[in-house]
Amino acid sequence: MPDQRSRFDDLLRRLGEITDLRRISGLLSWDHETKMPPLGAPARAEQSATLARLTHELGTSAELGALLDELRDLEESSDHDSFEASVIRVARRDYEKERRIPGELRAEMSRAASLGYRAWLEARAAGDFEILRPNLDRRIALVHEYVACHEPFDDPYDVLLDDHEPGMRTADVAAVFARLKDELVPLVAGIGEPVDASCLYGDFPAEHLRQFSLAVLTCWGMDDRAWRLDDTVHPFAVGLSGSDIRITSHFDGESLIGLLSCLHEFGHGLYEHQIDERYSRTPLHDGASSGFHESQSRLWENIVGRGLSTWRFFYPRLQVAFPQQLEDVPLDVFHRALNRVAPGVSRMDADEVTYPLHIVLRFELERAMLAGDVTPADLPEAFAAKLREYLGVEPAGVVDGVLQDVHWSDSNFGYFPTYALGNVISVQLWERLIRDVPDLEQEFELGNFAPLREWLREHVHRWGRALTPPELLERAVGGPLDAEPYLAYLRSKVAALESS
Amino acid sequence: MPDQRSRFDDLLRRLGEITDLRRISGLLSWDHETKMPPLGAPARAEQSATLARLTHELGTSAELGALLDELRDLEESSDHDSFEASVIRVARRDYEKERRIPGELRAEMSRAASLGYRAWLEARAAGDFEILRPNLDRRIALVHEYVACHEPFDDPYDVLLDDHEPGMRTADVAAVFARLKDELVPLVAGIGEPVDASCLYGDFPAEHLRQFSLAVLTCWGMDDRAWRLDDTVHPFAVGLSGSDIRITSHFDGESLIGLLSCLHEFGHGLYEHQIDERYSRTPLHDGASSGFHESQSRLWENIVGRGLSTWRFFYPRLQVAFPQQLEDVPLDVFHRALNRVAPGVSRMDADEVTYPLHIVLRFELERAMLAGDVTPADLPEAFAAKLREYLGVEPAGVVDGVLQDVHWSDSNFGYFPTYALGNVISVQLWERLIRDVPDLEQEFELGNFAPLREWLREHVHRWGRALTPPELLERAVGGPLDAEPYLAYLRSKVAALESS
């Protein structure tokens, strides 16, 4: 089929350009959040909007649509997992979704995100939610416009969720979250006196902690020929190609928390880094879903990064790096501190057990905002009320409350739930992993994380977006999404703390 | 003319998009040379190429051409200096130039520049010109293709020069350079024992020098809400908007040289920063020419940055910053060291008197390469031969010789001459300045550089590209390009050193 071949090459050329623009857009965001001087924001908002409009134009061109039609034969005659079938399938899905959105709306959403981020920084600095509020009003108006492009739907939130967790329905998420809430609200309420975690706080100079974090990440597989670590307010990771991975953290100088966010972002970065190189410059070169992406960050941050075998290897090194703070703190005290369970106001600093409740409350608020039951003006109090109800805690002010997360200011709704889905998936993967690689944790004790990295590459990362999230999960663990292993893991975590 | 008005708005919208993409391209280069992990290079080359192709597409669209035609009436009925006439005039010039170039060639040039930069870094690290040579072969082939798009022309080099110094002819440059060479080769040969400049070398820790440099630049008008300073191998400046100015330097830890390159890049940055804000997102928001841009960097670096009144203010502060190195060095010894004249192999570190000869030799080599008289394979020896002939010096190897500059690897030919044109212009501006603002240097002694900044804003910067370089020069100094003030300035510099 020589004709099909040259059409497929034409498709790859077009997809290559679209992918390039998406990567460039990633660079703009990375720069915005790590390097850009603040007065650069208005021009940057225009630049982002122009890029979004052009990306949209390329991604919705009639020529691309015609090519995808003409390539149906090639897709159908190729194996489902083949490069050709996967590229055509995923490109068609993207094309059909993107065709629904007017280019001007894409540009406007991008401009609003850019300005919203800046307003969020200012609102936080001033401790004044009102600085952000008009941006949120604008964003919600845009969300409504965006959702309206997708009629008909069962639930308007389905539209937003689908951008992050393709194919998943709001009702599915609500069912999983109901299960989590039923189990975790009483579990959290019944937790006794939290363990002492004071060893994690104190004088941890930012530059020293960065060096130590880099040492851990290097041992895990980060390589500065292809990765960087920078400072930001709200940590994130972005892959500008499989060999240009940017992770960010925030070292506050007063705690070890910045280290944990490095471990989290490493998980995201490694995913991008280990996608099949052949997928570069195609829409396959990305995570299967946000939930899968979060499963990787949560796995490295929580299951590995708070694990005893990991710290058997790293803790003596941490003590050498911070002798004054840790010399007299035994490993088990440090390890228990790292796994402390105690309700708090902050999602980012939350322990593993209370974390999902932070997500549930955000999911509920997003749905309420979408339904018009909560307006941005109501948000600070609605946010505080949910914290009281689910976690029994009260934020000191808006900075610790509704302004703690960047997401509502700079991105669409629908992302938050994927954090908790990521937790669920991470434990399903972990259970499979320790069956497949029984001596995994012994290797951690020796500082060898390659077997974990390789398992993840083989069973998750390399696939990129070639498989749907349910397909990928089925192949990796042999079953569908299931919250029970995760709940069992959390229960045993609480029990371990109580018995020790 | 309501119809003309809406057409002009449409023009502004289109030019806004093109400007956005050019700025984004500036961000890609800045990132490439300051932050990007090395293995990101191949993907970045593709991203740059895609961006170049799209920029070209927007900049050559038939719709843009039709608009520019339809707007002739508005242009002709508006005052020459008006916003409308200036935008239409400059946009038409850009459009007509860009139409000559196939988009694929633009993409290819961009890709080659991206890869060339990386090869140059590698060639320098390995001290091996052969690593770069194939890239230069490729670049020269592309230069020939590019030049061929512009037939007919008097001299193929005119095509390249016009990209940097609009309207200027190779013959004009050659005449100015012949005058410089005639005067300077014997002047340099006749210089006696150079003054002692050892106080500029020694233990100057990079971080301390960066802090001191920032203090100087802040006093000069840099403001970290709109500017950044980063490290790179080959210093440069780029404006990502009038309020997002990125300058770079290289602090080697062993000398004060990095400070001088900060002062140089500040001059470029200030130019971008002080262009009329109304010109944002139009092609007017850029320097009038590379020569004018270099006139600003040379003025701040040399005339101000090596001036005695400047250092009457800053030197006591420099001594406080580096007491061990400078406490016992009197101001006049430091000032003479800073103004030392001595032939050397390096352009970047060259004194003001020998500097133009470094440029003349590069201009001659570029013309010879374009004519095929010198091939990239011949270049290391041809470069060394010119250094011997004009300056009586011999590079120790290729890193100090032909590989010292980034330009041939990452940009088109035609830029180098503008450095020396910048020197010429800078002295013309300075002579006018001290007539207009007689107490300028007394203000420098008090640390007040605002009068200089304001004169430059009013007479040069704010105009952006609205005036051609000869128009701008005529208005600023009342006459055409003239090398004589510059030569007189250099002669008096040599005389001052000899008499002291």
Q: Nearest C-alpha of chain B: how many angstroms from A381? A: 33
Asked whether residue B80 falls in the same domain as residue B120, the answer is: yes
Same domain, B119 and B47: yes
Question: What's the mean pLDDT in B235-251?
Answer: 97
Nearest CB to B225; choose among A37, A42, A226: A37
Does any domain span residue B160? no
Residues B142 and B190 in one domain: no
Domain containing A124 equals 2-152
Q: Is residue B113 domain-shared with residue B227, that is, in the same domain?
A: no
CATH code of B196's domain: 1.10.1370.30
Q: Is the pLDDT of residue B26 over 90?
A: yes
Residue B166 lies in a domain: no
Is the residue at A470 inside a domain?
yes
Q: Are residues A207 and A147 in the same domain?
A: no
In this structure, the answer to whether residues A235 and A320 fall within a common structural domain is yes
What mean pLDDT comes out for the span A365-387? 96
The two tokens of residue B351 are 């004194």
Q: Given an 8 Å threshold on Cβ–Cβ distance, is B27 in contact with A23? A: no
Q: Is residue A72 part of a domain?
A: yes
Same domain, residue pair B181 and B143:
no
Q: What is the pLDDT of residues A272-286, one digit of tens each?
A: 999 999 999 999 999
* Chain A residue set in contact with B, beta carbons under 8 Å: 16-17, 20-21, 23-24, 27-28, 31, 35-40, 42-44, 46-47, 49-51, 53-54, 224-228, 240-245, 280-281
Instruction: Please identify, among B152, B179, B202, the residue that sits at the C-terminal boundary of a domain.
Output: B152
Q: Is residue B147 part of a domain?
A: yes
Q: Which residue of A has its CA nearest to B227?
A: A37
Q: Is residue B53 part of a domain?
A: yes
HEC letters along A171-205: HHHHHHHHHHHHHHHHHHHCCCCCCCCHHHECCCC
Q: Residue A184's CB: how many other CB atoms inside 10 A?
A: 22
Residue B442 sits in the same domain as residue B475? yes
Residue A198 pLDDT > 90: yes
* Chain B positions in Cβ-Cβ contact with residue A281 (cut-off 8 Å): 43, 46
Q: Which one of A152, A182, A207 terminates a domain? A: A152
Highest average pLDDT, of A486-500, B1-15, B293-307, comes from B293-307
For residues B21, B27, B457 and B85, what is the CA-based torsion angle, rounded to 10 degrees?
-10
Count of domains observed in chain A: 2
Distance from CA of B114 to the nearest CA of A (A): 14
Tell me: the pLDDT tens digits for B415-437? 999 999 999 999 999 999 999 99
Residues 6+ apart with CB under 8 A from A251: A204, A206, A207, A209, A210, A213, A231, A258
Q: d(Cα B401, Cα B396) in Å, to the nearest integer?
A: 7
What is the C-alpha separation between B394 and B97, in angstroms, rounded? 41
Same domain, B201 and B147: no
Helices A355-371 + A156-164 axis angle, to 10? 130
Residue to mutate among B33, B46, B47, B272, with most A CBs inside 10 A, is B47
Q: For B129-184, write each residue's pLDDT tens digit.
A: 999 999 999 999 999 999 999 999 999 999 999 999 999 999 999 999 999 999 99
Mark out chain B residues that contact chain A at CB-CB < 8 A. 16-17, 20-21, 23-24, 27-28, 31, 35-40, 42-44, 46-47, 49-51, 53-54, 224-228, 240-245, 280-281
B278 and B416 both lie in a single domain: yes
Asked whether residue B111 carries a pLDDT value surpassing 70, the answer given is yes
pLDDT band at B349 (very low <50, low <70, confident <90, very high): confident
**A461 domain-assigned:** yes
Query: In this predicted structure, what is the pLDDT of residue A500?
Result: 62
What whole-number distance in Å separates Cα of residue B395 and Cα of residue B387? 8
Q: Are residues B193 and B105 in the same domain?
A: no
Give the model's pLDDT for residue B410: 80
Q: Name the DSSP class of B299.
A: I
Residues B60-83 have a mean pLDDT of 97
A412 band by pLDDT with thresholds 50, 70 and 90: confident
Boundary residue ending a domain (B152, B183, B211)? B152
Q: Give the pTM.
A: 0.94
Residue B231 has pLDDT above 80, yes or no: yes
- Quick check: is A487 in a domain? yes
pLDDT for A410: 79
Cβ–Cβ of B31/A28 closer than 8 Å?
A: no
How far apart are the C-alpha atoms of A56 and A68, rounded to whole Å? 16
Closest partner CB to A43 (pick from B23, B42, B47): B23
pLDDT recorded at residue B2: 54
> What pLDDT score does B498 carry?
79
Same domain, A107 and A30: yes
Distance of alpha carbon A101 from the chain centroid: 24
On the question of pLDDT at A1 being above 60, the answer is no
